[in-house]
């Protein structure tokens, strides 16, 4: 029963997303064979299909979630909100380091492993996205202030 409730609520959200994907999203020109319009449409259709399968034939087992799991889920949502708020002011690298470290520590890793994971994720993620995928990621106001200070000192 829990599966059907979850799938029903998610179906409402997915149908709203599909309406937006098919009506509101339009690109002025196509620079890609699929284009930016196609991905939200494909995603919504796949999600609707998966949710229909869950609604048709849910799991037979009862969902028993421990209190600690609910706490971790809530903490993860709070961490994601904090990450989204700190993403531009701190920049991709620093925000990702903080998020990765906090999430890893919350899931039970030791402090040094959490820090190593956070730093590796932030730095390698930036290198992957900025060089290989050629994405523009925010450097952050902190980085810009430090770079501006060094520019003033050098001139």
Burial of 115 (0-12, 13-18, 19+ CB in 10 A): middle
**pLDDT tens per residue across span 31-84:** 666 667 778 888 999 999 999 988 888 776 666 778 888 899 899 999 999 999
Cα(9)–Cα(94) distance, integer angstroms = 35
Q: Which of 53-62, 85-94, 112-121, 135-144 has the lowest mean pLDDT?
A: 53-62
Is-contact 58 4, C-beta < 8 A?
yes
Sequence ranges of the domains in the chain: 2-56, 67-154
Whether pTM > 0.85 for this model: the answer is no
**Could you write out the DSSP letters of every residue in 59-112?**
-SS-----HHHHHHHHHHHHHHHHHHHHHHHH-HHHHHHHHHHHHHHHTT--HH
Residue 113: its H or E element: helix 111-127
pLDDT at residue 13, rounded to an integer: 93
More confident position, 137 or 82:
82
């Amino acid at each position: 029963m829990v599966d059907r409730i979850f799938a029903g609520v998610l179906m409402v959200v997915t149908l709203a997303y599909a309406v937006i994907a098919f009506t509101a999203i339009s690109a002025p020109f196509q620079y890609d064979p699929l284009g930016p319009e196609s991905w939200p449409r494909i995603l919504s259709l796949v999600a609707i299909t998966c949710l229909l399968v869950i609604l048709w034939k849910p799991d037979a087992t009862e969902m028993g979630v421990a209190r600690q799991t609910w706490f971790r889920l809530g903490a993860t949502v709070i961490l994601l909100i904090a990450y989204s708020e700190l993403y531009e002011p701190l920049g991709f690298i620093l925000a990702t380091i903080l998020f990765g470290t906090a999430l890893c520590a919350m899931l039970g890793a030791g402090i040094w492993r959490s820090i190593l994971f956070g730093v590796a994720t932030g730095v390698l993620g930036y290198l992957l996205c900025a060089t290989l995928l050629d994405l523009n990621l925010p450097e952050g106001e902190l980085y810009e202030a430090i770079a501006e200070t060094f520019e003033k000192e050098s001139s």
